[in-house]
Copies of this chain bind each other. A is one copy, B any other.
C-alpha cells in the first residue's frame, strides 16, 4: 500500500466503495476482489429510469466531475438525475496497484485491464448495488469517452443516451504513440524501480517530465499563443507548469498512470466485431452526441467525426475551446456553457 494524499476524500471529495467480487479480465488476469470507488449525487427514482453513469479519464477521478460538471444549474443536475461517477479500475481510487490488499496483484504485479473490463465491472456494480439495469445516459470524457463508446456497443439495450467528449471509440495510432511517451517519462526515472518504488515522490522527476508532455499536447498552440493561461490567474507560461501541471501530475501515482495508459492505448470497440469498426458502431441504438474539443491535438475533431458518421442517428457537437484536450478541466470561460447546452439537448431527446 502506497500512501498518497491525492487519492483521498479530502482531495477528491467524498466517495464510497463496493466490491463486485471476482473479475476475470479480458487479457487473462484476475482481480479476486474487484472493488470500485464511486460517488453519487441525486436520487434514483422508483422506476430506476433516471440514472446517469460517468466513467473517469486518465489521471482523473470522480473529483473533477463533482467540482465542475455536476450540480444545480448544470445539465448534470442532481435534482433530476441519479448521477453515479465510477472511478476506473487502476486509477488509484478503485482497486489499483497502489491500494490493493492483495499482494499478488500489488504494484508491478497488477494485471492489464481493458476498457471492456471496466464497463463489465460498472454494469455489475449498477446491477448488484442499485438494481439499475438501464441507464438514462452515459457521459464521459477522454478515457471516459472510450468507456462510453464501449457501453453503447457492448450493451446497446442498456443505454438510452450517450455523450462522448474528447475521445474515440477506437484509439488511433498517433494517440498510442503519444501515450507511449507519457509512459517513458515515468519508466525512465531510476526512482520508478520497475514499478516497485516506495513513494510516488521517488518518481518526481519522471512525473514532472510527463507533466511537460501534457503542456505540449494537452493544450493547443492557440491557447499558448493567446496567453489564455492568464484566465487561470497565472502570470507567465512557466507558471502553467510550475504552479498547475507539475504539482498536479507530481501528486499522482506512477503505476496508476501506467496501468491506465495501457488501457487507453488499446481502447477499441471493434474488438466486438472482429476489427470491423463500422459494424461495431452500427450496433449503437443510444442517442449519441460525439463531442470533440475543437483544438484537441490528440483526439482531433476529424478523428471523432469519422466515428460519428458510423453511429446511427448520432450528432457531431464540436466544443469550441482553445484549451484543447485539457479543456476538460473546465478552464475556459465558454467551455461549460457548451457542455451544459449539449447535454441538456441530449437529455431532452
A residues contacting B by CB (< 8 A) are: 172-178, 180-181, 184, 188-190, 205-206, 209, 212-213, 215-217, 219-222, 224-225, 227, 237, 241, 297-298, 300, 302-303
Contact = CB atoms under 8 A, between A and B. Distances in A.
How many subunits of this chain does the assembly comprise? 2
Contact of A173 (B177, B178, B181, B225): B225
A221 B174 contact: yes
Given A173-B224, A224-B172, A181 B213 contact: yes
Nearest to A303: B221
20 contacts: A172-B221, A172-B224, A173-B224, A173-B225, A173-B227, A174-B216, A174-B220, A174-B224, A177-B215, A177-B224, A177-B237, A178-B216, A188-B189, A188-B206, A188-B209, A221-B298, A221-B302, A221-B303, A222-B302, A297-B297
A216 B173 contact: no
Nearest to A217: B216
Contacts of A219: 174
Contacts of A221: 172, 174-175, 298, 300, 302-303
A321 to B, nearest CB: 16
A188 B212 contact: no
Nearest to A179: B216
Nearest to A208: B184
Contact of A212 (B181, B189, B237, B300): B181
A285 to B, nearest CB: 27
A58 to B, nearest CB: 16
Identify which of A205, A216, A220 gathers the most chain B CB atoms within 10 Å of its CB: A216
Given A177-B224, A298-B221, A184 B212 contact: yes
Nearest to A226: B173
A216 B172 contact: no
A-B pairs, top 7 by smallest CB distance, nearest first, are A173-B224, A174-B224, A174-B221, A178-B216, A177-B215, A177-B216, A173-B237
A209 B220 CA distance: 22
B177 A225 contact: no
A30 B143 CA distance: 51
Contacts of A184: 209, 212
A130 B213 CA distance: 45
Contacts of A215: 177
A177 B241 CA distance: 10
